[in-house]
């Protein structure tokens, strides 16, 4: 389910245009325009990325890399957790509803939904939200799909207005030049479409005011967004910083 919301950010839209798939997939076109407020623009020479319709799915075409396969969101493919489920541990045993304030392409939201949690996934970049909405609509596991509510909005406008046991933040990692490992294609595209998360620390501060437990995903070598981490769950390449504040909404 995708719910439109006011206050979406249009900062990334000049990079993205929409190809002429209105005639080929009118239902999808109308639903995405309605639910994500995605601006409809012709595929002019100034736009690097084009949203188009290939093989019954919404795809992102990179016109600067014409030989590269168009990108789409596939949420049926399970990500390899590889050992302890650190994210689920960080969220906490008693949690039943989570707000994913930086949903991106939905990997973590689906991961939590598969573990029985209800997830409000918030994504402010309209192009990313459109790709995620299409990926959710194609999921084979209907029970998982129904546990996820996707909202295209700036999380700062929603945090505190929706009840949840935990708020989860996965801000953009440090720039690829500072990461030892080669960044995945989805991470690179997310950065190109949405830009840097310059307001990540402010979003954390807001979330901590309104929710008792906040979890932040960080690269293993990156500093915490705030210094007073209650505890952390560490993996080989990532960690989950847990903040617990008495002033937040009771779980």
Q: Which domains does the chain have, with CATH numbers?
A: 2-62 (no CATH), 86-244 (3.40.50.150)
Q: Under the phi-then-psi rule, with left for phi > 0, alpha for psi from -120 to 50, and beta for the rest, what region is 101?
A: alpha
Please, are residues 88 and 98 in contact by the beta-carbon 8 Å criterion? Answer: no
Using only C-alpha atoms, the chain has a radius of gyration, in whole angstroms, of: 18
Backbone phi and psi for residue 7, each to the nearest 5 degrees, phi listed first: 90, 20
pLDDT tens per residue, the chain (251 residues)?
Answer: 555 554 444 444 446 777 767 777 788 888 887 877 776 555 555 678 888 888 889 988 888 888 889 899 999 977 655 557 999 999 999 999 999 999 999 999 999 999 999 999 999 888 889 899 999 999 999 999 999 999 999 999 999 899 999 999 998 755 544 444 444 777 777 777 776 667 899 999 999 999 999 999 999 889 999 999 999 999 988 999 999 997 555 44
Angle at 178 between CA 175 and CA 179, to 5 degrees: 90
Burial of residue 27, with CB atoms counted within 10 A of its CB: 0-12 exposed, 13-18 middle, 19 or more buried:
exposed
Please, are residues 109 and 101 in contact by the beta-carbon 8 Å criterion? Answer: no
């Amino acid at each position: 389910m995708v719910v439109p919301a006011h206050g979406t950010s249009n900062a990334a839209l000049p990079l993205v245009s929409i190809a002429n798939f209105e005639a080929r997939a009118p239902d999808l076109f109308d639903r995405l325009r309605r639910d994500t407020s995605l601006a409809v623009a012709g595929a002019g020479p100034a736009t690097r990325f084009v949203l188009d319709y290939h093989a019954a799915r919404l795809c992102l075409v990179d016109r600067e890399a014409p030989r590269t396969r168009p990108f789409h969101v596939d949420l049926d493919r399970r990500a390899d957790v590889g050992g302890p489920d650190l994210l689920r541990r960080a969220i906490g045993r008693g949690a039943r509803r989570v707000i994913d304030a930086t949903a991106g392409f939905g990997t973590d939201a689906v991961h939590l939904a598969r573990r029985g949690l209800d997830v409000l996934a918030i994504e402010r970049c309209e192009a990313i939200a459109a790709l995620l909405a299409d990926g959710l609509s194609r999921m084979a596991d209907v029970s998982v799909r129904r546990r996820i509510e996707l909202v295209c909005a700036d999380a700062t406008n929603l945090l505190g207005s929706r009840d949840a046991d935990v708020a989860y933040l996965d801000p953009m990692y440090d720039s690829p030049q500072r990461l030892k490992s080669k960044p995945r294609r989805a991470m690179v595209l997310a950065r190109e479409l949405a830009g840097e998360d310059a307001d990540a620390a402010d979003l954390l501060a807001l979330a901590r005011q309104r929710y008792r437990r906040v979890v932040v995903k960080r690269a293993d070598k990156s500093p915490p967004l705030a210094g007073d981490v209650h505890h952390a769950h560490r993996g080989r390449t990532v960690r989950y910083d847990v903040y617990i504040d008495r002033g937040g909404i009771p779980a």
